[in-house]
Chain A
Amino acid sequence: MSGENKYIDKVLKQKFENFMPEPPESVWLKIKQKIGGQPGNPLSGNHIIMPVITGIALLMALIAILINIQSDRYLSFTRTHDSEPVFYASANIDDAVNIQYAYNTASQNSSNANQEKLNPYFNSSDKITEQESNKQTQNIKVRKPLVINPPGLAANIQELVEAPVLQSVTEENKVLVVTDPASDISQLATGFQMDKQNTGSGIHLAGNFNNASLAERPSSLQEAYNDYLNDHKPGWSFGLFFNPEMIFYNADGISQNKSYGVDLNAYYKFSDYFIQTGLGIKITNDWGNYHIDYNEYLGSYEHVYEVTFDSTNQGIIPTYHTYTLDVYDSINHLKITEAKARYTYFELPILFGYGKRLHKFSYYISGGPNISFLLDKKLEGITYPEEQVRIVNVDRKVPVRLNTNWQLLLRIGLGYNLNDNFSLMIEPTFKYYMKSEYDFSNQSSRPYSFGARVGIIYHLNK
């Protein structure tokens, strides 16, 4: 740089040294308005979050309550209509065959004078007219069917007759549905010599049912039935998962990032539905650098801050009171050092899901909001200038993360059931960030992530 330029630069700099214009008052009003909603509370940054979360939680609770009420209504309904045994089958091919049975009533009726009238349904040699059947049967809508679904279960009529109904059905579970897409509804109708009724959802078969010939039912059916009862009993499960994720951004400076987490989840299952919540810890890193502004050390001198004079025989002697004053240059220097920032998040999912268990395997799908709170951040790798300097400022040039963010989460779970109590799970996961982890002003679209949770679930009530 030439001496001329140096002088001009100095003059230019001096021009702005005391340049302090008053900004318009409207700027402060805008700032006040914006910072007014931010104090401390990590959720208050976005006023929409809390109402949305509350709304979703209330909706889930409402759904759960409604499902339970429906279940209770059904039980009441069967009790009021159990004056005679009912056999019910629905041939909606998609849902396979449904059978409903009222056990207690059958037991009562089996001992009365109508026993003979009921027996023919399990004896192919006896015939019953359509008219008689109609008199004896009720079609009760199955609201909460029990399901047994081993392949080929109901293909054989005799096996279906021997279905694990009577002795296993409890007072609370009066309904049994046997499903098997391979079953031929016509064959069933013939075998049971039952009525055929066409309904909107398919052919319904109806007839009375008798337990007389069910003593020797195959053990496999009993197991299947027991499995079914276990699967549909309301209860709790707990899961422990390892959760790696890759998050994708569409913003300057960051395109993708990895995270690892451990989740502890609790599930409350009712029928085929469940509510899931829990807590998770997620760890992720950002890389960037520190900008350290500093002034170089030039030297020191003894600064005289007071002089006192003492009168002595030799005359007046001055005493200089000093302290050492370091001198630094007035130019800002910048040292850039690489840095790593480690962030720990607490995660709180509130999910609603639907799932099925198929013997050794199970599957489910769940979705809902997942809220992340920034618990801790650790900054590593900063190295200060080694020489004696005066630090003016340390500026972290790593992306700024927000204290809270939330996502809509979708999971598909695939499980292998080790036994009645434990299942191994793998869960492909997709998250769509409703609020980004970063304070991006230049983000063109919302981030999203893919993950694959793996873990184990313990079923408490088996």
Chain B
Amino acid sequence: MDPDPKLIQGCLNKDPKAQEAIYRLYAPIMYGVCLRYARNHMEAEDILQDGFIKVFMFLKDYRHEGSFGGWVHRTFINTAINYYRLKAKEQADLSLDNLEFTASVDENIIDTISTNELLGLIQELPEGYRMVFNLSIIEGYSHKEIASMLDIKESTSKSQLSRARGVLQNKILQLKSNRK
């Protein structure tokens, strides 16, 4: 979904109307992305705000080598990664002892839970797990690529995804049992 090139040019010329149009076009999609990477709505709004400011500030760097939507999406992922790095520093002492692997969840259960419920569970994941989970499962990056993006080892990315899956499955099962 790429906008009219005139809108992009308008943003380059700092036209407020063009900037608002671009915002209105991409804000819902990117807010969805931000919510996945954030722990809550407040963090997601912060990332959304920072991401759009970067989009408008560095639009001149967009070289039309790919889709504009892809560039915006990537800008938001980078913003989320930077946000995560800051948070990771602040929460370096986060205890992961209570996180355990469990048996795999029945895939049919996932179908029965809503996107918002799933989002809530993802947001409850520890920072590192959530980042790797999003980048791998939702965005489709390989572990090598994720390792490079997050400045971690490939093996760390793999283990974090594995643990993220386990934790998420636990949470899904728990959600399901609470419903009964």
Give the residue of A40, A396, A441 whose beta carbon is less than 8 angstroms from that of B82.
A441
**What's the A-B contact tally at a CB cutoff of 8 Å?**
135
The docked-state distance in angstroms from the alpha carbon of A5 to that of B105 is 10
Q: Does B66 contact A (CB under 8 A)?
A: yes
Given contacts A9-B137, A13-B138, A38-B57, contact A20 B110 (CB under 8 A): no
Cβ of B115 and Cβ of A13 under 8 Å apart?
no
Q: Which residues of chain A have C-beta atoms less than 8 A from B29's C-beta?
A: 20
Main secondary structure on A side of the interface with B: mixed
The docked-state distance in angstroms from the alpha carbon of A31 to that of B119 is 25
Number of interface residues of B (CB under 8 A): 55
Q: Does B100 contact A (CB under 8 A)?
A: no
Q: Which residues of chain A have C-beta atoms less than 8 A from B139's C-beta?
A: 332
Cβ of B110 and Cβ of A12 under 8 Å apart?
yes
Q: Which residues of chain B have C-beta atoms less than 8 A from A200's C-beta?
A: none
Smallest distance from the beta carbon of A76 to chain B beta carbons, Å?
56
Cβ of A393 and Cβ of B70 under 8 Å apart?
yes
Cβ of B105 and Cβ of A12 under 8 Å apart?
no
Cβ of A291 and Cβ of B53 under 8 Å apart?
no
- Per-position 1/0 for A8-34, Cβ under 8 A of B: 110111011001111110111011101
Smallest distance from the beta carbon of A67 to chain B beta carbons, Å?
44
Q: Which residues of chain B have C-beta atoms less than 8 A from A5's C-beta?
A: 104, 165
Q: Which residues of chain B have C-beta atoms less than 8 A from A11's C-beta?
A: 107, 110-111
Smallest distance from the beta carbon of A366 to chain B beta carbons, Å?
35
Cβ of B57 and Cβ of A35 under 8 Å apart?
yes
Q: Does A387 contact B (CB under 8 A)?
A: no
Smallest distance from the beta carbon of A403 to chain B beta carbons, Å?
10
Closest residue of chain B to A36 (Cβ to Cβ) is: B16
The docked-state distance in angstroms from the alpha carbon of A440 to that of B90 is 17
Q: Which residues of chain B have C-beta atoms less than 8 A from A34's C-beta?
A: 49, 53
Q: Which residues of chain B have C-beta atoms less than 8 A from A336's C-beta?
A: 145, 148
The docked-state distance in angstroms from the alpha carbon of A162 to that of B95 is 88
Q: Does A4 contact B (CB under 8 A)?
A: yes
The docked-state distance in angstroms from the alpha carbon of A400 to that of B144 is 24
Give the residue of B49, B57, B70 whose beta carbon is less than 8 angstroms from that of A293.
B70
Residues in A lying within 8 Å of B, measured CB to CB: 4-5, 7-9, 11-13, 15-16, 19-24, 26-28, 30-32, 34-36, 38-40, 252, 289, 291, 293, 331-334, 336, 390-396, 400, 441-442
List, sorted by A's number, 11 A–B pairs whose CB atoms are closer than 8 Å: A8-B105, A8-B110, A19-B115, A20-B32, A22-B27, A27-B52, A35-B19, A333-B145, A334-B148, A392-B67, A395-B78
